[in-house]
Structure 1
Amino acid sequence: MSQKRYGLLGRGISYSYSPEIHAKIFSENGIDATYSILDLTESAIPDIIRELREGRIHGINVTIPYKQIIMEYLDEIDSLTIKIGAINTVSVKNGRLIGHNTDYNGFLETVKTMGLDCNGKTAVILGTGGSAAACVRVLQELGAKVILISRTPKDIKRIFLKEDVRSYEDLKDIKGYLIVNATPIGGKNSIDQSPVSKEIVENFENAIDLIYNPEVTKFLSYSKNGKNGKEMLTKQALATEEIWQERKLGV
């Protein structure tokens, strides 16, 4: 059997740890495969879709800014992913492209590892992209009172129809149990920035930053009990590989 080829589709993603994580999964589970960064413009997506359909690429992860855009190219989307409204994984089965969301798995495991009990408590999510959508679903299922923060709340309410969407200006009046940074602010391209001030973060008992590089962002440095997105990345990678390989794996 020839070596399989997988990759991460996104833009401005050279910082990603995904190739190393997937390489470790391949090595520890006897999988003959490669995983590469597909840092491409939106105009290149049809070419990637063609390679998937032709069997030259066997599966992809999808990240910023294509987690919602990619959905229009797929033949099928699993039930959980339909509820979330964004995908981060594409598998190929009998020539059909299927969308999945393993960010859900990764974020849920992160919350569990921190020992958080979100039931009945206020959780704020900064950002309204694909990763934020997965976080919303997890926290709602854990019983949290979820508030989404957007720079354009009126526009976003057309997408998140049932969610409580507010502006960054409203944040100064909110205190809660958990605040999640699901924006790219504070990552490798804006390392000296935080999406919100120290005073805002201190209004919450716990913080999660989905960014994992750098490991301690400015946002996380403001929190007394914070965690970065590295575990989320690792857990979603394992869940992704189990979809692609169609079996349970270890790491």
Structure 2
Amino acid sequence: MSLKLGLIGHPIGHSLSPWIHTNFIDLAGLNGEYKLYEGDHTKLPEVIQHLKQMPIDGFNITVPYKQVIVDYLDEIDKDAEILGAVNTIVHQNGKWKGYSTDGEGYVRSLVEPYPNLLNKDTSVLLLGAGGAARGIYRAIVQKGVKKVDIANRSLDKAEALLSLKTGTTTTRIMSFQEAEQHLGEYDLIVQTTSVGMKPNVEDQIIQLHHLRKETVVSDIVYQPITTKLLQDAKNRGAIIHHGHAMLLYQAQLAFEIWTGKNLDVAHMVNELEQKLRGE
């Protein structure tokens, strides 16, 4: 059996997904390929029609198609339906079923190095309320943590995430300015926006004057590997968590959905970092 996998999006020419999944295929002892299927928004129907005619086992979806792909699916996983976005499709029994691996992939990337971080006493601050924040918020809340507060420029947009909440976790909505004053309350701070991404590497979403030492500060931006926020946090005695690990672990979960194989990929975090640095 030879796996046929791929990625749909635009632009995706520099995507590392082929490198990641080719390594996964080898690690699992399987045969197969992972190809790129690129097209702007006007070409999506053509790309989908092409894939429908292929014996493809599964594929990933990236921007700008994570929402519109839902219209082409036969089934959708409950969490993906709640989140309103899909990034992984599996082809089984002639049908396409959609999943979202971003949120759980992020949590996996976090608990691998810090297995005891997320528990009933953990307090979390989420910076941003966009698509990435939705998945991460829901996945962290499902771990049963004490609280996950959300800071955002638009408070209404942050409040929209409250519909994703489950269990007894509490959530407070606040501005970035308010969040800066309360940083000492949190065990984990997660930056979920594109602030600080290349080429705007000097941008920092909040100031860390009130940051508590030993707090874990995580940034999902992975270009640059160490954002200005992470460097500032490190200088203040915090523990930093890099965004490229999320890229790897959301891919791990997608591969698991496609093949049923749960691979140990911890050793690839440093390899991926070197790849991103061009080494």
Tell me, yes or no, if the aligned pair for 1:67 and 1:130 is still in contact at 8 Å. no
Tell me, yes or no, if the aligned pair for 2:57 and 2:92 is still in contact at 8 Å. no
Tell me, yes or no, if the aligned pair for 1:85 and 1:133 is still in contact at 8 Å. no
Q: Which runs of 5+ in 2 are unaligned?
A: 166-170, 266-279
For 2:136 and 2:44, how far apart are their aligned partners in 1? 26
For 1:110 and 1:3, how far apart are their aligned partners in 2? 25
For 1:14 and 1:169, how far apart are their aligned partners in 2? 38
User: Closer, same or farther in 2 for the Cα pair 1:167/1:53, shift >3 Å?
Assistant: farther
Correspondences of 1:17-166 after superposition (within 5 Å)? 17-38=16-37, 40-55=39-54, 57-112=56-111, 113-115=113-115, 116-142=117-143, 143-158=145-160, 160-161=162-163, 164-166=172-174
In structure 1, give the amino acid aligned to 2:108: E
Report how many aligned residue pairs link the two structures: 249
Q: Which runs of 5+ in 1 are unaligned?
A: none
User: Closer, same or farther in 2 for the Cα pair 1:71/1:149, shift >3 Å?
Assistant: farther
User: Closer, same or farther in 2 for the Cα pair 1:77/1:19, shift >3 Å?
Assistant: same
User: Closer, same or farther in 2 for the Cα pair 1:110/1:249, shift >3 Å?
Assistant: closer
Normalised TM-score (structure 2): 0.75
Query: Which one scores higher on RCO, CA 8 angstroms, separation ≥ 6?
Result: 1
Match of 1:237 in 2: 251
For 1:60 and 1:229, how far apart are their aligned partners in 2? 22
SS of equivalent to 1:157: helix
Identity %: 30
Offset at residue 218 of structure 1 (A) = 1.3
Normalised TM-score (structure 1): 0.82
User: Closer, same or farther in 2 for the Cα pair 1:21/1:156, shift >3 Å?
Assistant: same
Match of 1:168 among 141, 152, 176: 176
Offset at residue 225 of structure 1 (A) = 0.5
In structure 2, give the amino acid aligned to 1:29: A
For 1:144 and 1:74, how far apart are their aligned partners in 2? 36
Match of 2:273 in 1: none
| Greater alpha carbon shift after TM alignment, 184-193 vs 134-143 | 184-193
Offset at residue 240 of structure 1 (A) = 1.0
